Amino acid sequence: MRKSARVISSERWPAIRFRVNGEAAAVRVPPMKRLLDVLREDLNLKGTKEGCGEGECGSCSVRMNGELVNSCLVPVLQSEGADIQTVEGLARKGELHPLQKAFLEHGGAQCGICTPGMLMAATQLLAQDSHPGISQIREALAGNLCRCTGFMRIFDAVAATAALEAKPGTGSAVEQASHAR
């Protein structure tokens, strides 16, 4: 965690402050600017993608104060004071997050456009339910569209991560996932 805030200046607008991946950030942008654009353009965090720009596809999903949101529908002023986590906040010190490893192992990513959103939606799920069944996984990812993988490999990756993180003997999500195929 760095101490100094990143300040993006345009004197016309008052500063809007929040935290991104544990770091303080402040931007001077129009308050109606979409959080998605602030992340990508002003903070140079290009992991978060734009698919539809209307809340339907989930490729812009980030976590805000511990909730999953579509950043294309958040005016940045409504993020004032918030704690935001983007896909860039998953890996620690160059080591991929277990979900990221599982996506690689299970073929859960192809073109990669949906992947950051999928990862954030899956992170949200696992933060709330450490051993989700296949129907919980499906519900958690229902707002994230993928044009490439056909979804099953993504569900497998999430189920595998859940099984890994669950205590030994409770990792039934993978079994349920393969039954559902």
Partner 1 sequence: MRGDASKHELVAPGRLDAVLDLLASEPGAWTPIAGGTELMVAFCAGRLDAPRLVSLTGIPDLRAIEVRPHSVVIGSAATFLDLRRHTIVGAELPLLARAASWIGSIANQSRATLGGNLVNGSPAADSSPALLAYDAEIEIISVRGRRRVPYSAFHTGYKRNVLSTDELLYAIHLPRRFERHVQYLRKVGTRRAMAIAKVALAATALAEDGVIREIRLAAASLAPFPTRLFGTEAALLGQAVTRETAQSARRALLAEVKPIDDIRSTAEYRRRVAANLLDELLLSLRREGWQR
Ligand X SMILES: Cc1cc2nc3c(=O)[nH]c(=O)nc-3n(C[C@H](O)[C@H](O)[C@H](O)COP(=O)(O)OP(=O)(O)OC[C@H]3O[C@@H](n4cnc5c(N)ncnc54)[C@H](O)[C@@H]3O)c2cc1C
Nearest distance from C-beta of residue 89 to ligand X, angstroms: 24
* Contact with ligand X (CB under 6 A) among 14, 31, 55, 112: 55
Strand partners, 83: 19
Does 68 bind partner 1 (CB under 8 A)? Our answer is yes
Question: What Å distances lie between residue 97 and 6, 88, 104, 139, 169, CA to CA?
Answer: 25, 10, 11, 22, 22
Burial of 10 (0-12, 13-18, 19+ CB in 10 A): exposed
Contact partner, 105, from ligand X, partner 1, ligand FES, none, Cβ < 5-8 Å per class = none
Which residues have CB under 8 Å from 98's CB, separation 6+? 161, 164, 165
Nearest distance from C-beta of residue 71 to ligand X, angstroms: 13
Does 99 bind partner 1 (CB under 8 A)? Our answer is no
Does 105 bind partner 1 (CB under 8 A)? Our answer is no
Interface with ligand FES: number of residues (CB under 6 A): 23
Distance, C-alpha 46 to centroid of its chain: 12
> Where along the sequence are the contacts to ligand FES (CB under 6 A)?
50-53, 55-60, 70, 72, 109-115, 146-149
